[in-house]
Amino acid sequence: MPSPIPAIARYTVMESMRNRLLLLCLLLAGTAFVLIEFIGELTITEHRLTQVALLAAFLRISAVLVVALFVVSGTVRELHDKTLEMILAMPVHRASYYLGKLAGYSVIALLVCLIFAGLLLFYADTQALLVWAASLFLELLLVVALALVMLFSFSQVPAALAAVFVFYGAARIVGTIFLISQSPIIAHDSAAQKFMDGFIELLTWLLPDLHRFTRSEWLAYNTADWSALLPLLGQTLVYLCLLAFIALFDFYRKNF
């Protein structure tokens, strides 16, 4: 019997296309282009640098929002329409269903990267853009895996999306918060302060260093280098395995 993973992945991609994924990405790209050109007309100095930095940041945030929204809403729809129960009623392992969804949404993440990187071609150096796009794809893979974990845990769109954005935001800023906590303006030796310092340091070990991913200065100053992707790839593989284990553990213990 052939593996059901490719079929599930293909169905996931087709369902996203029917839900106007490409149209939404093109609308976001068009809106970003108009806004950046308008901002560029207002900029007095460092015209290109300002445009590239703002556009890269806007597209990164938009990509995360789009991918998280499609992962959560698409899978919740299958839960409510009993599509998941019909799939599991067939000789399909839950691990195969999960891997099929992960593969399908990874293709969606790749399409989003290509569309948004295509817009940046008008503003950024090609090599720096390739590194930036590859980093964005790795970041979106983590968002896909995280969204599936939160979806299996909460089974509701608002709760799952809120959890994804909380964890994503924490992973983005926890490194900065840790550096600030190490050099406070006024030193405190209270037990509460020591607890918070230890808690923040623990988060830096538990959460991925997303502030190292998809950096706008790579495009603004042409400082991107392929070697910068190696630690990002390592982090992505480690956290993908961890999130997949958590998702499958939660998925297998649920009754549908």
Task: Provide the whole-model pTM.
Answer: 0.89
Q: Would you place residue 202 in the very low, low, confident or very high pLDDT band (cuts 50, 70, 90)?
A: confident
Give the helix ranges, DSSP H, for the chain.
5-18, 21-42, 47-80, 83-89, 94-120, 126-154, 157-182, 191-206, 216-220, 229-252
pLDDT digits (tens, 9 = 90+) for 134-156: 999 999 999 999 999 988 888 78
- What does the alpha-carbon distance between residue 23 and residue 46 come to, in Å, rounded to a whole number? 32
CB 21 within 8 A of CB 6: no
Q: Tell me what pLDDT residue 93 has.
A: 85
CB 130 within 8 A of CB 229: no
Residue with the two structure tokens 């050099």: 183
Q: Would you place residue 225 in the very low, low, confident or very high pLDDT band (cuts 50, 70, 90)?
A: confident
- 226 or 19: which carries more pLDDT confidence? 226
